[in-house]
A and B are shown apart, each in its own frame.
Chain A
Amino acid sequence: MTNAIAQIAAVLATALFIFALHWMNDPKTARHGVIAGVVGMIVAVLATWIQPEIVHHGAILLAIVAGFVVGVPLSLVPLTAVPQRTALSHAFGGLAAGLVGAAEYFLSIGTNPASLTPFRMSALVAEVILGFLTFTGSLMAAGKLQEVKWIPQRPVTYPGQNFVNIGVLVGAVVLGVVLVREPTAAWASNAFAVIIALALLFGVLLIIPIGGADMPTVISILNSYAGLSAVAMGFVLNNKLLVTAGALDGSSGLILSIIMCRAMNRSFTNVLFGAFGQVKAVKASGEQKTWKQETVEGAAQLLEQASRVVIIPGYGMAVAQAQHKVRELYDALTKRGITVKFAIHPVAGRMPGHMNVLLAEADIPYTALVEMDEINPEMPQCDVALVLGANDVVNPAARYAKETPIYGMPIIDADKAKTVLAVKRSKNPGFAGIDNELYVKDNTWMLFGDAKAVLADLVKQFSAGGLH
């Protein structure tokens, strides 16, 4: 009886999870997706809980309550902290998979060694390697995003780094293969522990050379790994629901990774083993061409005379928490009949979709948020492109400068607008260490300062009556 319930629950939960993702195809239906997901999850948990072999209900309740105690505050973080929250949740997902895998192995070897068939043992090894590397890797990523002091923000590289990293992973996999062949040898438990240690180490080593601009890709890849570790758990436990739900997560992470990689014109291996940040400033301060600075008054006038304005936000907007000021500017401009759109580059920010969430938080209608591929053909008709804390994603050097790491990366064609206004915090080059020639173009005017402060001044110009 309980078995039949579990089977039905698994089918139901899988269907609900698929619907949950399906409804995400439109912001109008997306919230149904959350409900479907919650219902699916409750069904799955209850159907498992009523199984007769579960006897320690107190411990379960305790763990669930603890999950709520930590989970609720984690869901209330400011939206600028969403990338690190996401990384942290990948870490939790990896940890759960890794721990269950370890528990299963030590349980099986103690009570039922015959159950360690080659297939199940392979799944166990995959589960703990994926789980534990996702755990430490995601923790590192979350630490970098949160700017924790003892985790270096800048990519850390050293000679032979890729050799060491791949060596650690290969070591874990080779040991795993040996274990699959002899899962019950006297040294097997120790070997299993070493695999766990190597996976933990590999997660750390993998993220050390990664810099901020690569985070969207890395978070997506870790997302995929977290899903795959759940799949491996499903194989180990002979549970199809784990396999389906894990596969949905894994494929979602895969698609996001592909989108992110395309948006940077790079491959997975290049992101993970390319150590982007190592590139030194290609011609920093070499060129004598200088930018032209604009006053806030002048910028306000430029904006007021425009009929089409495109705002291009980047990580700088998130850092300055400027999204609400952006909204005020948006209101001031649209009230004057000016068309304002936002051009969203896929890798703007620190995770996929980061800019959209921040702008939506500020109550900017999502119909004004336009993808790169859709906005680029319109850029020549744009009167003013306002670049807001974005840098590499608008650097025209990506089109032709083969020696730069951003070469080939699709960019938002800000330079094709009639006038460019660029708000920039400092005069330093961007993440990739490349001068941005957009800033020195004839039709570009710079506004130096914190994005939030500059926008506040701009908005004041519109409201103070200096402009009608």
Chain B
Amino acid sequence: MTEPLLAVQAAAPEHANVDYWSMLFVFVLSTFIGLGVVRRVSRLLHTPLMSLTNAISAIAVVGSLVVAGADYPVVIRVLGGVALFASMTNIVSGFMITDRMLKMFKKR
């Protein structure tokens, strides 16, 4: 097992063998976990919730990192670099503004 996890360009047979059913399985389960957890989120916090999930979904950063950083043609890496920039912006501003808003919720 030495092939990279983020097998972007990995050999053809590997992609053919990817276990898409387990990916779908993961998707369905995490959606249900998400629904269960988010349903309990305080209604007071729906705005920070949105900025927090926004920062979390900037996990696209890991895909962008590979496309921007691997040894691909320049055009591809530029696309990846822009994607990386966009994801990073979301991570930074998303977490920071969430914290800024949450700080304001006081019981007195």
Does A400 touch B at the CB level, under 8 Å? no
**B77/A59 in contact, CB under 8 A:** yes
**B50/A71 in contact, CB under 8 A:** no
Report, as a range, how many residues of chain A touch the other chain. 35 or more
Q: State whether A112 and B47 are in contact (beta carbons under 8 Å apart), knowing that A85-B93, A100-B83 are contacts in the complex.
A: no
Chain A residues positioned under 8 Å from B61 (CB to CB): 41, 44-45, 48, 96
Q: State whether A59 and B88 are in contact (beta carbons under 8 Å apart), knowing that A96-B60, A242-B62, A243-B30 are contacts in the complex.
A: no
Q: State whether A237 and B63 are in contact (beta carbons under 8 Å apart), knowing that A21-B53, A26-B42, A247-B34 are contacts in the complex.
A: yes
Chain B residues positioned under 8 Å from A115 (CB to CB): 10, 12, 15-16
Q: Mark B54-70, 1 if CB is under 8 A from A, else 0.
A: 11111111111111111
**B30/A37 in contact, CB under 8 A:** no
Chain A residues positioned under 8 Å from B86 (CB to CB): 67, 92-93, 95-96, 99
**A96/B97 in contact, CB under 8 A:** no
Say which one of A2-10, A401-409, A412-420 lies at the interface with B.
A2-10
A342-375 residues at the B interface, CB under 8 angstroms? 344, 346, 351-354, 356-357, 360-361, 363, 365-367, 369, 371
Chain A residues positioned under 8 Å from B9 (CB to CB): 53, 107-108, 111-112
Does A233 touch B at the CB level, under 8 Å? yes
**A231/B69 in contact, CB under 8 A:** no
With contacts defined as CB atoms under 8 Å apart, how many contacts are there between chain A and chain B in the complex?
424
Closest residue to A229 on the B side, CB-wise?
B60
Interface of B is mostly: helix
Chain B residues positioned under 8 Å from A92 (CB to CB): 58, 86-87, 89-90
**A251/B67 in contact, CB under 8 A:** no
Of B1, B72, B88, the residue contacting A64 (CB under 8 A) is B88
Q: State whether A240 and B65 are in contact (beta carbons under 8 Å apart), knowing that A92-B90, A360-B101, A365-B108 are contacts in the complex.
A: no
Interface of A is mostly: helix
Chain B residues positioned under 8 Å from A27 (CB to CB): 42, 44-45, 102, 105, 107
Least CB distance, A468 to chain B, in whole angstroms = 25
Least CB distance, B78 to chain A, in whole angstroms = 9
Q: Mark B67-85, 1 if CB is under 8 A from A, else 0.
A: 1111111011101111111
Give Cα distance in the complex from A56 to B73, angstroms.
12
Q: How many residues of B contact A (CB 8 A)?
A: 96
Q: Mark B26-56, 1 if CB is under 8 A from A, else 0.
A: 1100111111011111111111111111111
**A360/B70 in contact, CB under 8 A:** no
Give Cα distance in the complex from A59 to B80, angstroms.
10
Chain A residues positioned under 8 Å from B3 (CB to CB): 3
Q: State whether A75 and B97 are in contact (beta carbons under 8 Å apart), knowing that A63-B84, A90-B54, A240-B26 are contacts in the complex.
A: yes
Of B56, B73, B83, B96, the residue contacting A96 (CB under 8 A) is B83
**B46/A352 in contact, CB under 8 A:** yes
Does A235 touch B at the CB level, under 8 Å? yes
Q: Show 30 residue pairs from A and B whose CB-CB distance is below 8 angstroms, ordered by the A residue.
A: A3-B3, A21-B34, A21-B52, A21-B53, A24-B45, A30-B102, A34-B99, A37-B52, A48-B65, A56-B71, A66-B88, A67-B85, A70-B89, A72-B96, A92-B58, A95-B82, A95-B83, A103-B83, A106-B76, A107-B72, A119-B20, A231-B27, A235-B20, A238-B23, A239-B62, A243-B26, A251-B31, A252-B41, A252-B53, A371-B43
Question: Which positions in B face A, CB cutoff 8 Å?
Answer: 1-13, 15-16, 18, 20, 23, 26-27, 30-35, 37-73, 75-77, 79-108
